[in-house]
Amino acid sequence: MKLSELEQINSQNILLASLPGLDQFLGKKEQKEIDLSKITYKDQFVKTYLPFEPHYFNYFDVIANLVYTGFIDIEKLESEIMEMSDELSRKEMTRESKLIQKMSDCFVLNDDEFAPLLTETLIKVEAGAFDLPTYPNLFTRLLQIEHNNLEGFKIDETIIKKFEQGIDISKKKSKYIEAYRWKIPIWEVPEERYKKISELAIQANDSLLYANVESYSIQIIPLIEKNMGDELYSHLVNSEFINLPIFLYLDPSEVLKGLLDSNNLLKYSFSNGLRERYKNTFSSDSYKKELCFFNAFLNLLNDYIDKQKVNRISTIAFRNLREVVNSIVTKPE
């Protein structure tokens, strides 16, 4: 299996996480037998090594790359180690961590401990006292409590709003977690209230990433304007942002204006960077977000090139760029 194929699996899958007993009242999707001889090698890999439905495989993708391809991304490995270290530090025995632990063990508490624990936990939930992964996980515990009709507890709209407010507050003091979806329950049979909370928390985590993406994106224009071709190429093919929509935040007219004023070497650096960036597979979500930019940019290129009465060296460079952009726009998902 090629590294690009493995990365495609990783980009769309994450390791299954669940709490004991939830599937008993949410249900399971029926598993069907698969004839491995009739599917692609990539799908054989998924079916053989990722026996969950849906398939999740992302948390230790650095190690997976090493095992299946012999390639290891040292920087990403160090980043994941730091992330785990940070998480362990955050989980030192604070008052909040004690509450989370007690909620996890709520079915073995003494009878008189439950109501005060629930009251304090919901106050902390609304105040944004927990990190983002805690919110979906706590909500699953509340679903279990409701399912068992423990002291008549019900998840009403007031509790939903406490979680919504808490997630919004927590987001403002959190940092992006790459393996976020691994840390929360994923159910094939959805519980609509949980789906609402989990998606809200996922969006909050994603927003932290896209704040970084926008900051990274706007650096492209100065690199073009300063004719920094090598730096521009490296910026476009940076593996950390290769599957993220960095062109979502750019104005195609502004990019073209910068290219018109740049030297021809810079134009080819831009073309080559785009070609390398999109030569293999990439995130379909990222692709869809960037299509608007590239469609508009292609139209601008066509208009400019069609108006040229004399072929100059710069005209050839722009034609080359147009071919690259056209291949991005027409590339099947």
Do 295 and 255 lie in a common domain?
yes
Angle between helices 284-306 and 252-260 (to 10 degrees): 50
Do 160 and 303 lie in a common domain?
no
Is residue 126 exposed (0-12), middle (13-18) or buried (19+ Cβ within 10 Å)? middle
Do 135 and 283 lie in a common domain?
no
Encoding tokens for residue 260?
């018109």
Encoding tokens for residue 163?
């979680």
Element at 138 (helix H, strand E): helix 134-147
Residue 225 near residue 266 (C-beta atoms within 8 A): no
What is the rounded distance in angstroms from the CA atom of residue 326 to the CA atom of residue 291? 11
Do 240 and 195 lie in a common domain?
no
Do 198 and 273 lie in a common domain?
no
Do 263 and 114 lie in a common domain?
no
Model pTM score: 0.52
pLDDT digits (tens, 9 = 90+) for 62-83: 776 776 677 787 877 777 777 6
pLDDT digits (tens, 9 = 90+) for 72-111: 878 777 777 776 666 655 555 577 788 888 898 888 889 9
Do 72 and 180 lie in a common domain?
yes
The domain tally of the chain equals 2
Q: What is the pLDDT of residue 56?
A: 44
Do 72 and 115 lie in a common domain?
yes
Do 141 and 8 lie in a common domain?
yes
Encoding tokens for residue 245?
């929509």
The domain in which residue 204 lies consists of 3-210
What is the rounded distance in angstroms from the CA atom of residue 149 to the CA atom of residue 137? 19
Do 175 and 191 lie in a common domain?
yes
Residue ending a domain, choose from 153, 181, 210: 210
Q: What is the pLDDT of residue 13?
A: 36
Cβ-count burial 92-114 (b if 16+ within 10 Å, e if not): eeeebeebbebbeebeeeeeeeb
Residue ending a domain, choose from 184, 210, 236: 210
Q: What is the pLDDT of residue 286?
A: 74
What is the rounded distance in angstroms from the CA atom of residue 45 to the CA atom of residue 66? 15
Residue ending a domain, choose from 183, 210, 237: 210
Do 84 and 202 lie in a common domain?
yes
Do 137 and 121 lie in a common domain?
yes
Which residues of the chain, if any, have pLDDT below 70? 1-61, 64, 67-68, 83-93, 187-189, 280-285, 332-333
What is the rounded distance in angstroms from the CA atom of residue 65 to the CA atom of residue 63? 5
